[in-house]
Amino acid sequence: MGRIEDEPHPNGHVLKFLPSNIVKLTLVDCELSQDPMAVLEKLCHLRILHLKEAYIGSKMVCSANGFPKLDCLHMWCLPQLKEWVIEEGAMPCLRDLKLQSLNSLRMLPEGLRYITTLQELNLIGMSLSLKERIKVIDGRGGKDFYPSTFNPSTFN
């Protein structure tokens, strides 16, 4: 695989030139410094997105109406990611979300509560503080537990 040069581009984000008809995209070891979601969420046919060591920034934003057909999102080994924002209306078709080894992620995005199509959420190798925020004790969810969206059986 080739490395994507992440130098500031005079015509915008380096990923801006991806074909709009992409259905599945995997980015591995890209270490992009600019939030890739700003461009990727505009790929209107994208159904499957895998990001592994693809971003070295601390904040990621999924905008309202972004990722209109995304069904499956897997993100792992994004060590600098501290904040992930999901705006209401983003990823309206998302069914499968897997987050692995996002050790700096402080909390799950509040916007997950708006994704009513979510059927499977896998959290693997996450920080202890994040685990505490979602833990269900005596039937009561933690700070990041959204009962309208999540079923405790979806956490692995």
Q: 68: Cβ–Cβ under 8 A, 6 or more apart, which residues?
A: 44, 92, 93
Q: What is the pLDDT of residues 109-156, one digit of tens each?
A: 999 989 999 999 898 888 877 777 776 444 445 555 554 444 444 444
Band of pLDDT at residue 37, cut at 50, 70 and 90: very high
Q: What does the mean pLDDT of the chain come to?
A: 83
Please report the domains of the chain, with CATH numbers, ordered by start residue.
14-154 (3.80.10.10)
Exposed, middle or buried, 140 (CB in 10 Å: 0-12/13-18/19+)?
exposed
Mean pLDDT of 66-80: 97
In this predicted structure, what is the pLDDT of residue 153? Answer: 40
Distance CA 1, CA 133 (A): 37
